[in-house]
Amino acid sequence: MTAQSDGTRAPGTPRLGNATGLSCRECGKITDLGPFYACDECFGPLEVRYDFPRLTRADIQAGPQNIWRYAPLLPVPQDVASRPTTEPGFTKLVRADGLAAELGMRRLWIKDDSGNPTHSFKDRVVAVALAAAVEMGFKVLACPSTGNLANAVAAAAARAGIRSVVMVPADLEGQKILTTAVYGGTFVTVDGTYDDVNRLASELAGEHEDWAFVNVNVRPYYAEGSKTLGFEIAEQLGWRLPEQVVVPIASGAQLVKIDKGFSELAELGLVEDRPWRVFGAQATGCSPVSEAFARGWDVVRPVKPSTIAKSLAIGNPADGPYVLDVVRRTGGAVADVSDPEIVDSIALLARTQGIFGETAGGVTVGVLRKLLASGQLDPEAETVIINSGDGLKTLDAVEPAVTVPAAIKPTLEAFQAAGFDGAGAA
Amino acid sequence: MSGPGVPRAGGEHTGGEHTGGEHTGGEHAASEPRGRVSVRIPTILRSYTGGAAEVTAGHGTLREVISELDASYPGLAGRILDDGGRLRRFVNVYVDEEDVRFAAGLDTPVPAGAQVSVIPAVAGG
């Protein structure tokens, strides 16, 4: 993208905290901070560069109980906590003894990001994108989405008092359609796959220079928001890195940024620099990264998705090659599970932990189980898995697997006759 | 849906002998000379086309279209293709609605009247 001259941008370099510029992840070319996302040499993705200050655990712990406690490590104005945002993050890290016992693991934790304002991890990335976009002079917050991002963008824009334009495939889960439409922004349902919607968004981003498509033209800033998952996991473990982490893969950015978050904490001396292994989880019906991992490729062949895990149904994942890099560098793996395994894993998580994850959570638990069985995950190593969203948004997926009993009369006799007294009751 | 290779309307145009009018994107073809295709240029490459968001070329394979564009706008091909002449990893090219990676790549036919879109792949998720 060339320098903007349309007068809609704030003059000069945007004030984005300790961020100093952008660099191409492919060819290394350095660009100024601005609304750029692809390298003008090679089309490679751009990544935020920083000059971090000296930072202590106490500095961070003195911050707010949300992602803005890590503002010095994010590309945002440093007064961001005083601006209107949804204040996501600092979700619970649940010690998962029930699921660990079921799977024969020594120590397992669930980072439960369904606790965010719109019930998925997307509130993190959107909050960072919004803060950076406003600073760069954008007037509209937009996105192509598989649903969770749609919720997060529509809500964040409503909170900030700016217009949103949200585009989704028309065949999304009904719950995700309703939980987007309620915020009253511009809502576009598209007859096509997510990859089709993504393409349309990429073309629109070239035509509307004051629209910030959070995961397109401000994607370098947006993606940095997922580092906060890594920061929080480490802080909540008592400033310690886990030995293994299992992360669902859609575009792959979340996995790559959790790894980056761990690396930055180690570089800053905030945690002991110990090895960790990163594992990725996909649905078999959309498993281009898992396929590439299994075949030893360093690129990802796009696929046309067909899975109930719609929030992960990205057939052409932008960060796929970087996921392969991270997983291989750390000694992890990528695997995939079928739709029936996803549903079964949602039920397992609910039954053993009292956590109702969405389909992506089922994918992650399913892959955890699969990689334990194959010996690729070590049951003795401390492990964290990500539950990225809320089961209430993907009710259709579990409906066939859940038994709702017939109604009884409100009498003791009817209760006993139905067999609810015994230990063997359903 | 299954994998790549879903049959698509338009296969009969591969001979390139047709006029443009009946193809997808006919509204573009109507204003162009016979046998031309239109190519949408992403913002990042408009410095090569004098700021034009859309340019035209003769029909043929995608490789031939890109080659002709490079003759008109020197340097453009080097942004879309790598040193080995392959499509760069982070570029998506569509002929009408079809991602060419699901078709024949650079050998994908671009019939008269077709719309080619070149789009940075770094998006989504």
The two beta strands, A277-283 and A244-248, are parallel
Contact: A316, B99; criterion CB under 8 Å: yes
pLDDT of res. B121: 85
**CA-based nearest residue in chain A for residue B51:** A2
Q: Do B125 and A45 touch (CB under 8 A)?
A: no
Taking CA atoms, what residue in B is nearest to A248? Answer: B125
Whether residue A336 is predicted with pLDDT greater than 60 in this model: the reply is: yes
CA distance A368 to A281: 8
The structural architecture, per CATH, of the domain A93-119+226-401 is 3-Layer(aba) Sandwich (3.40)
Q: Which of A196, A301, A318 comes nearest B122 by C-beta?
A: A318
DSSP A130: H
B67: three-class secondary structure by DSSP: helix
Question: How high is the ipTM of this complex?
Answer: 0.77
pLDDT score, position A218: 96
Q: What angle do CA A318, A323, A324 make, to 5 degrees?
A: 115
Domain boundaries, chain B: 33-120
Q: Which helix (H) or strand (E) holds A384?
A: strand A383-387
Order of strands, edge to edge, in the sheet holding B91-95? Answer: B54-58, B36-40, B115-120, B91-95, B98-99
Tell me how many degrees the CA angle B50-B53-B55 measures, rounded to the nearest 5: 80
Q: Do A198 and B123 touch (CB under 8 A)?
A: yes
Rg of chain A over Cα atoms, rounded to whole angstroms, equals 22
Chain B residue with CA closest to A286: the answer is: B3
Model confidence at A71: pLDDT above 60: yes
**Check: CATH 3.40.50.300 for B33-120?**
no
pLDDT at B23 over 50: no
How is chain B split among helix, strand and coil, in percent rounded to 5? 25, 25, 50
- What percentage of chain A exceeds 90 in pLDDT? 89
pTM value? Answer: 0.89
Residue A169 dihedral angles phi and psi, to the nearest 5°:
-65, 140
The overall average pLDDT reported for chain A is 94
Q: Do A306 and B1 touch (CB under 8 A)?
A: yes
Q: Which residue of A has its CA nearest to B100?
A: A302
> CA-CA distance, A349 to B97, in Å (whole number)?
40
Name the pairing type of β-strands B36-40 and A383-387: unpaired
Burial of A63 (0-12, 13-18, 19+ CB in 10 A): middle
Same topology, domains A19-54+122-222 and A93-119+226-401? Answer is yes
Q: Does position A10 have pLDDT exceeding 50, yes or no? A: no
Q: What value does the mean pLDDT take over residues A278-295?
A: 98
Better pLDDT: A259 or B22: A259
Q: DSSP letters along A194-259, please?
A: HHHHHHHHHHHHHH-TTEEETTTTTHHHHHHTTHHHHHHHHHHTTS---SEEEEE-SSSHHHHHHH
| Topology of the domain comprising A19-54+122-222 | Rossmann fold (3.40.50)
Helix, strand, coil percentages (3-state) for chain A, rounded to 5, are 40, 15, 45
* pLDDT digit string, tens, across residues A172-210: 989 999 999 999 999 999 999 998 999 999 999 988 989
Task: Name the residue with higher pLDDT: A403 or A355.
Answer: A355
Calculate mean pLDDT across residues B2-9. 33
**Do the chains contact at A199 and B119, CB–CB below 8 Å?**
yes
Q: How many residues does chain A have?
A: 426
Retrieve residue A194's tokens: 């997510």
Nearest-neighbour CA in chain B from A317: distance (Å): 7
Chain B touched by A213 (CB under 8 Å): yes
How many CB atoms are closer than 10 A to CB A37?
26
What is the per-residue pLDDT across B31-80, written as a single tens digit (0 to 9) for each?
446 689 999 999 889 999 999 999 999 999 999 999 999 999 999 999 99
Write the CB contacts of B34 (distance below 8 Å, at least 6 apart in sequence). Answer: B19, B20, B112
What is the distance between the alpha carbons of residues A334 and A343, in angstroms, rounded to a whole number? 19
Closest chain A C-alpha to B35 CA, distance in angstroms: 25
Cβ-based neighbour number of residue A411 at 10 Å: 9
Read off the pLDDT of residues A366-386 as tens digits, 9 standing for 90 and up: 999 999 999 999 999 999 999
**Domains in chain A: boundaries:** 19-54+122-222, 93-119+226-401
Give the span between the Cα atoms of A346 and A369, in whole angstroms.
12
